[in-house]
Amino acid sequence: MTDTQTLQPASALPEHPGREVVSGKTYWRDAKGALVPEELVKPADKLMDEQVRKIMGHAHELNAQIARFKQHTLDDVTALMDLLLQDYGTKIGGPKGNVTLTSYDGLLRVTLQVQERFTFGPELQAAKALVDEYLTELSADSDPVLRGLVQHAFRTDNAGLINRAELFRLLRYEIADDRWQRAMKAIKDSIRVEGSKEYVRFHQRPNPRARWEAVTIDVADA
Protein backbone atom coordinates (compact mmCIF):
# COMPACT_ATOMS: atom_id res chain seq x y z
CA MET A 1 0.00 0.00 0.00
CA THR A 2 1.60 3.30 -1.11
CA ASP A 3 1.37 6.67 0.59
CA THR A 4 -0.59 8.03 -2.36
CA GLN A 5 -3.26 5.34 -2.17
CA THR A 6 -6.65 6.61 -1.11
CA LEU A 7 -7.75 4.98 2.14
CA GLN A 8 -11.36 4.23 2.75
CA PRO A 9 -12.67 4.33 6.33
CA ALA A 10 -11.48 1.19 8.16
CA SER A 11 -14.17 -1.18 9.37
CA ALA A 12 -13.60 -3.92 11.92
CA LEU A 13 -14.63 -7.45 11.07
CA PRO A 14 -17.00 -8.45 13.92
CA GLU A 15 -16.29 -12.15 13.45
CA HIS A 16 -12.54 -11.54 13.28
CA PRO A 17 -11.32 -9.22 16.08
CA GLY A 18 -7.90 -7.75 15.53
CA ARG A 19 -8.45 -7.37 11.80
CA GLU A 20 -9.59 -4.46 9.70
CA VAL A 21 -10.62 -3.89 6.10
CA VAL A 22 -8.97 -1.01 4.27
CA SER A 23 -9.95 -0.36 0.64
CA GLY A 24 -11.47 -3.81 0.46
CA LYS A 25 -8.30 -5.54 1.68
CA THR A 26 -7.98 -7.36 5.01
CA TYR A 27 -5.20 -6.37 7.40
CA TRP A 28 -4.13 -7.78 10.78
CA ARG A 29 -3.20 -5.32 13.50
CA ASP A 30 0.05 -6.33 15.22
CA ALA A 31 1.25 -5.67 18.79
CA LYS A 32 2.73 -2.30 17.74
CA GLY A 33 -0.56 -1.14 16.23
CA ALA A 34 0.59 -1.49 12.63
CA LEU A 35 -1.68 -3.00 9.96
CA VAL A 36 -0.11 -6.05 8.31
CA PRO A 37 -1.56 -7.47 5.05
CA GLU A 38 -3.23 -10.80 5.77
CA GLU A 39 -1.08 -12.69 3.26
CA LEU A 40 2.07 -11.63 5.17
CA VAL A 41 0.91 -13.04 8.49
CA LYS A 42 2.56 -16.40 9.18
CA PRO A 43 0.27 -19.46 9.37
CA ALA A 44 1.69 -20.24 12.84
CA ASP A 45 0.74 -16.75 14.06
CA LYS A 46 -2.75 -17.15 12.61
CA LEU A 47 -3.19 -20.50 14.37
CA MET A 48 -1.93 -19.08 17.68
CA ASP A 49 -4.21 -16.05 17.37
CA GLU A 50 -7.21 -18.28 16.77
CA GLN A 51 -6.43 -20.53 19.74
CA VAL A 52 -5.78 -17.64 22.13
CA ARG A 53 -9.05 -15.94 21.20
CA LYS A 54 -10.93 -19.23 21.63
CA ILE A 55 -9.45 -19.82 25.09
CA MET A 56 -10.02 -16.22 26.15
CA GLY A 57 -13.64 -16.46 25.05
CA HIS A 58 -14.17 -19.37 27.44
CA ALA A 59 -12.21 -17.52 30.16
CA HIS A 60 -14.46 -14.45 29.90
CA GLU A 61 -17.57 -16.63 30.13
CA LEU A 62 -16.20 -18.47 33.18
CA ASN A 63 -15.15 -15.22 34.83
CA ALA A 64 -18.66 -13.81 34.43
CA GLN A 65 -20.16 -17.04 35.78
CA ILE A 66 -17.90 -16.96 38.86
CA ALA A 67 -18.78 -13.30 39.46
CA ARG A 68 -22.49 -14.17 39.36
CA PHE A 69 -21.92 -17.14 41.68
CA LYS A 70 -20.04 -14.96 44.19
CA GLN A 71 -22.78 -12.33 44.19
CA HIS A 72 -25.49 -14.97 44.61
CA THR A 73 -23.54 -16.47 47.52
CA LEU A 74 -23.16 -13.08 49.22
CA ASP A 75 -26.87 -12.39 48.74
CA ASP A 76 -27.81 -15.81 50.16
CA VAL A 77 -25.59 -15.39 53.23
CA THR A 78 -26.95 -11.89 53.87
CA ALA A 79 -30.53 -13.13 53.50
CA LEU A 80 -29.83 -15.96 55.97
CA MET A 81 -28.33 -13.57 58.51
CA ASP A 82 -31.34 -11.26 58.24
CA LEU A 83 -33.77 -14.19 58.52
CA LEU A 84 -32.13 -15.63 61.63
CA LEU A 85 -32.05 -12.25 63.32
CA GLN A 86 -35.65 -11.38 62.39
CA ASP A 87 -37.36 -14.74 63.02
CA TYR A 88 -35.20 -16.27 65.74
CA GLY A 89 -33.47 -13.34 67.37
CA THR A 90 -30.14 -15.01 66.62
CA LYS A 91 -27.23 -13.09 65.18
CA ILE A 92 -24.44 -14.86 63.34
CA GLY A 93 -21.19 -13.41 62.19
CA GLY A 94 -18.32 -11.60 63.78
CA PRO A 95 -16.91 -8.10 63.53
CA LYS A 96 -16.96 -6.34 60.16
CA GLY A 97 -19.37 -8.88 58.70
CA ASN A 98 -17.15 -11.96 58.92
CA VAL A 99 -19.23 -15.12 59.19
CA THR A 100 -18.73 -18.89 58.97
CA LEU A 101 -21.59 -21.22 58.04
CA THR A 102 -21.30 -24.98 58.63
CA SER A 103 -23.57 -27.81 57.53
CA TYR A 104 -25.35 -29.75 60.29
CA ASP A 105 -23.09 -32.79 59.84
CA GLY A 106 -19.98 -30.60 60.10
CA LEU A 107 -18.62 -31.64 56.72
CA LEU A 108 -19.22 -28.49 54.66
CA ARG A 109 -18.23 -24.93 55.47
CA VAL A 110 -18.74 -21.55 53.79
CA THR A 111 -16.76 -18.59 55.10
CA LEU A 112 -17.40 -14.95 54.30
CA GLN A 113 -14.56 -12.56 55.12
CA VAL A 114 -14.61 -8.80 54.74
CA GLN A 115 -11.18 -7.24 54.36
CA GLU A 116 -10.78 -3.49 54.54
CA ARG A 117 -8.58 -1.74 52.02
CA PHE A 118 -6.68 1.22 53.37
CA THR A 119 -3.63 3.34 52.69
CA PHE A 120 -1.46 5.62 54.80
CA GLY A 121 -1.44 9.40 54.64
CA PRO A 122 1.43 11.90 55.06
CA GLU A 123 1.23 11.60 58.85
CA LEU A 124 3.24 8.40 58.45
CA GLN A 125 6.33 10.41 57.54
CA ALA A 126 5.98 12.41 60.75
CA ALA A 127 5.68 9.15 62.67
CA LYS A 128 8.89 7.83 61.13
CA ALA A 129 10.78 11.03 61.98
CA LEU A 130 9.66 10.83 65.63
CA VAL A 131 10.55 7.14 65.91
CA ASP A 132 13.97 7.75 64.34
CA GLU A 133 14.56 10.60 66.79
CA TYR A 134 13.66 8.38 69.71
CA LEU A 135 15.85 5.49 68.53
CA THR A 136 18.82 7.78 67.90
CA GLU A 137 19.08 8.50 71.61
CA LEU A 138 19.08 4.83 72.53
CA SER A 139 22.33 2.93 72.79
CA ALA A 140 23.27 0.84 69.78
CA ASP A 141 22.71 -2.45 71.60
CA SER A 142 19.41 -1.52 73.24
CA ASP A 143 16.35 -3.49 72.14
CA PRO A 144 17.66 -4.75 68.75
CA VAL A 145 14.27 -6.41 68.17
CA LEU A 146 12.54 -3.03 68.27
CA ARG A 147 15.11 -1.51 65.93
CA GLY A 148 14.65 -4.33 63.44
CA LEU A 149 10.88 -4.06 63.68
CA VAL A 150 10.98 -0.33 62.98
CA GLN A 151 13.20 -0.85 59.94
CA HIS A 152 10.83 -3.45 58.50
CA ALA A 153 7.70 -1.47 59.35
CA PHE A 154 8.67 1.65 57.42
CA ARG A 155 10.34 -0.16 54.53
CA THR A 156 8.34 -0.33 51.29
CA ASP A 157 8.13 -3.43 49.12
CA ASN A 158 8.71 -3.66 45.37
CA ALA A 159 5.27 -2.17 44.73
CA GLY A 160 6.00 0.80 47.00
CA LEU A 161 3.63 -0.44 49.69
CA ILE A 162 4.24 -0.11 53.41
CA ASN A 163 4.52 -3.32 55.44
CA ARG A 164 1.14 -2.99 57.11
CA ALA A 165 1.44 -5.96 59.47
CA GLU A 166 4.81 -4.83 60.86
CA LEU A 167 3.55 -1.27 61.20
CA PHE A 168 0.60 -2.40 63.30
CA ARG A 169 2.95 -4.39 65.52
CA LEU A 170 4.58 -1.12 66.54
CA LEU A 171 1.26 0.05 67.98
CA ARG A 172 1.39 -2.78 70.53
CA TYR A 173 4.61 -1.51 72.10
CA GLU A 174 3.94 0.36 75.36
CA ILE A 175 6.70 2.99 75.49
CA ALA A 176 6.25 6.02 77.70
CA ASP A 177 8.51 8.36 75.72
CA ASP A 178 6.52 11.36 74.45
CA ARG A 179 7.98 11.12 70.96
CA TRP A 180 6.99 7.47 70.72
CA GLN A 181 3.47 8.25 71.88
CA ARG A 182 3.13 11.02 69.32
CA ALA A 183 4.53 8.74 66.62
CA MET A 184 1.94 6.05 67.39
CA LYS A 185 -0.82 8.65 67.26
CA ALA A 186 0.51 9.83 63.88
CA ILE A 187 0.41 6.25 62.58
CA LYS A 188 -3.23 5.90 63.66
CA ASP A 189 -4.11 9.26 62.12
CA SER A 190 -2.42 8.25 58.85
CA ILE A 191 -4.76 5.31 58.23
CA ARG A 192 -7.18 5.96 55.36
CA VAL A 193 -9.92 3.36 54.86
CA GLU A 194 -10.69 3.30 51.13
CA GLY A 195 -13.27 0.52 51.09
CA SER A 196 -13.58 -3.19 51.64
CA LYS A 197 -13.48 -6.40 49.63
CA GLU A 198 -15.51 -9.51 50.34
CA TYR A 199 -13.99 -12.97 50.06
CA VAL A 200 -15.92 -16.25 50.02
CA ARG A 201 -14.09 -19.48 50.82
CA PHE A 202 -15.38 -23.04 50.70
CA HIS A 203 -14.15 -26.09 52.62
CA GLN A 204 -15.16 -29.72 53.03
CA ARG A 205 -13.97 -32.83 54.86
CA PRO A 206 -14.85 -36.52 54.76
CA ASN A 207 -15.66 -36.76 58.48
CA PRO A 208 -15.90 -34.39 61.49
CA ARG A 209 -12.44 -35.42 62.73
CA ALA A 210 -10.63 -34.80 59.45
CA ARG A 211 -8.91 -31.59 58.45
CA TRP A 212 -10.75 -29.09 56.29
CA GLU A 213 -9.84 -29.13 52.61
CA ALA A 214 -10.38 -26.07 50.44
CA VAL A 215 -12.72 -26.27 47.48
CA THR A 216 -10.79 -24.02 45.11
CA ILE A 217 -12.36 -21.86 42.45
CA ASP A 218 -9.06 -20.73 40.99
CA VAL A 219 -7.57 -21.87 37.69
CA ALA A 220 -4.07 -21.87 39.20
CA ASP A 221 -5.10 -24.21 42.03
CA ALA A 222 -7.65 -26.36 40.20
Question: pLDDT tens digits, residue range 137-170?
Answer: 776 556 666 777 777 777 755 545 677 777 888 8
* Torsion sign across C-alpha atoms 32, 33, 37, 43: positive
- 56 and 140 housed in the same domain: no
For range 179-202, the mean pLDDT: 88
Which pLDDT belongs to residue 87?
85
pLDDT, tens digit, for every residue of 192-222? Answer: 877 778 889 999 999 999 999 999 887 666 5
Residues 127 and 51 in one domain: no
Range of the domain at 166: 97-222
Question: Is the pTM higher than 0.85?
Answer: no
Domain-located, residue 6: no
Phi/psi of residue 36, each to 5°? -110, 130
Evaluate whether 20 touches 11 at the Cβ level (below 8 Å).
yes
Q: Are strands 213-214 and 191-204 parallel, antiparallel or unpaired?
A: antiparallel
Query: Rounded to whole angstroms, how far apart are CA atoms 161 and 154?
Result: 9
Number of domains in the chain: 3
CB 124 within 8 A of CB 187: yes
Under 8 Å CB-to-CB from 157, ≥6 apart: which residues? Answer: 163
Q: How confident is the model at residue 3 (pLDDT cuts 50, 70, 90)?
A: very low
Confidence of residue 101 (pLDDT cuts 50, 70, 90): very high
User: Do the Cβ atoms of 113 and 98 come closer than 8 Å?
Assistant: yes
If asked whether residues 51 and 111 sit together in one domain, one would say no
Is 101 in the same domain as 87? no
